[in-house]
Structure 1
Amino acid sequence: MKNHNPWHSVDPQADNCEVNALIEISNGSRAKYELDKDTGLLKLDRVLFSAVYYPANYGFIPRTYAKDDDPLDVLVLSQIAIQPLCIVRVKIIGMMEMIDQGKPDDKLIAVACYDKSVSHIEEIKELPPIFDSELKQFFQEYKRLEQKTVRVEHFTGRDQARETLQDALMRYKELYP
């Protein structure tokens, strides 16, 4: 089954700050989908309990293994809601460091390379200041009614994000040689 699972079969083609991402959740959705690691299909994890929606397209970088024992998460900025399971070439511009239920759960922040409305952005600091606040509020609130704790630590630039990406690519290679 490994060959048909997009987590394992899609080449990340990591090149400096550009990498392939796989979308799980479209911008504006209240559905929390996640990749089923065994089948490679998307499964509905839950409908968000709060009256909130995903502020960006949400997915993961293939062939990565993050510190939360899942593929490395990525938020992809674009002027459109991107279809789930779509492969998107992205440029990493920063990262949100987060703790979810006591475990690190960092989120890369990226822009869609083929969307001219955002592809010119190089660093997270180029985004409006409200962007950080909106992301932080969403991730701290979206599990509150489930009695779960999420804490956003801070936002970092693309250099730290690139280090986290390289670490997750290396961890994957060690686990899945």
Structure 2
Amino acid sequence: MSALLRLLRTGAPAAACLRLGTSAGTGPRRAMALYHTEERGQPCSQNYRLFFKDVTGHYISPFHDIPLKVNSKEENGIPTKKARNDEYENLFNMIVEIPRWTNAKMEIATEEPLNPIKQYVKDGKLRYVANIFPYKGYIWNYGTLPQTWEDPREKDKSTNCFGDNDPIDVCEIGSKILSCGEVIHVKILGILALIDEGETDWKLIAINVNDPEASKFHDIDDVEKFKPGYLEATLNWFRLYKVPDGKPENQFAFNGEFKTSTNLQISDSPFRCTQEEARSLVELVLSSPNKESNEEEQVWHFLGK
């Protein structure tokens, strides 16, 4: 049984500011060579922002300017031993927001101009995910697919819930710990239909095609075969990760089963601005010497059965 996952190109909800022209260069390059990041503010503070630039040095929106799908002619920097030519049509760009084993909840600021990565703030405090034994922080490289959005006005037939108004999330299961702001090529292995506080929150299971083990993985069954226990840990993590905050366990569609196929649809986005406007926006984010402490990041939670 295949599952239908509908990804929508971002539209009016995001306060985006895009440059004129395209963000991808020409000729064979690896994904990260096409995009660079610039830090503003102090890490672990509410004013921290990670802005994105293209290969020409122009500011871009990672949410809108980075293509969803990998173009084998313009972004083909992956050795053929890692992905056959006919596999390129199934490769996608992933923006890494949270490196594996870290706790800070970093995310693309969909409501801010240029959509930089920032740390999520709730009730005036920086958000950190709890350590739930035996897990330390996030157990994958966690991020998102650009140009996608879960529509809060549309009820998903699979979950019977509306979208969470965020980009589609990706759990990258490769062997490397990646960095916040990296843009990598991934192949999608499967999906998990999480219902998070009553909202549809699809999770894609994927692997970096430049990972040393990538050639072994083609679908969700290969994850269980070559990384036994990882899918079970993923299910448990999403089910329990908000319990330390006093919230109930999350639920899943399909009885928590991972599905293996996707269907993607995109359309154009209308937002544009000049490079002068983009540069002015970045310069407004000033550095700060203040660093907010986080004791919760060092606390472990032991949840009874």
TM score, norm. by length of structure 2: 0.51
Structure 1 residue ranges, 4+ long, deviating more than 4 angstroms after superposition: none
Mapped contact 2:94–2:146 kept (Cα < 8 A): yes
Mapped contact 1:139–1:152 kept (Cα < 8 A): no
Partner Cα distance (1:56, 1:152) in 2: 19
Mapped contact 2:103–2:137 kept (Cα < 8 A): yes
Q: Name the structure 2 match of 1:5.
A: 61
Partner Cα distance (2:215, 2:137) in 1: 23
* 1:118 CA drift (Å): 2.9
Q: Name the structure 2 match of 1:18.
A: 91
The equivalences for 1:25-174 within 5 A come to 25-37=98-110, 38-39=112-113, 40-45=115-120, 46-51=127-132, 52-66=136-150, 67-128=163-224, 129-149=228-248, 150-153=250-253, 154-159=256-261, 162-163=262-263, 166=264, 169-170=265-266, 173=267
Partner Cα distance (1:124, 1:100) in 2: 22
Partner Cα distance (2:175, 2:117) in 1: 23
Q: Could you say which structure has the larger radius of gyration?
A: 2
Percent identity over paired residues: 25
Unaligned 5+ segments in structure 2 are 1-15, 19-59, 71-87, 121-126, 151-162, 271-305
Moved more, 130-139 or 1-10: 1-10
Q: Counterpart amino acid of 1:94?
A: G
Mapped contact 2:96–2:183 kept (Cα < 8 A): yes
* 1:142 CA drift (Å): 1.2
For residues 120 and 2 of structure 1, do their structure 2 counterparts lie closer, same or farther at Cα, with a shift above 3 Å needed? farther
Partner Cα distance (1:58, 1:119) in 2: 21
Q: What SS class does the counterpart of residue 13 from structure 1 fall into? A: coil
More strand by share: 1
> What count of residue pairs does the alignment treat as equivalent?
168
Q: Counterpart amino acid of 1:55?
A: I
Q: Counterpart amino acid of 2:252?
A: V
More helix by share: 1
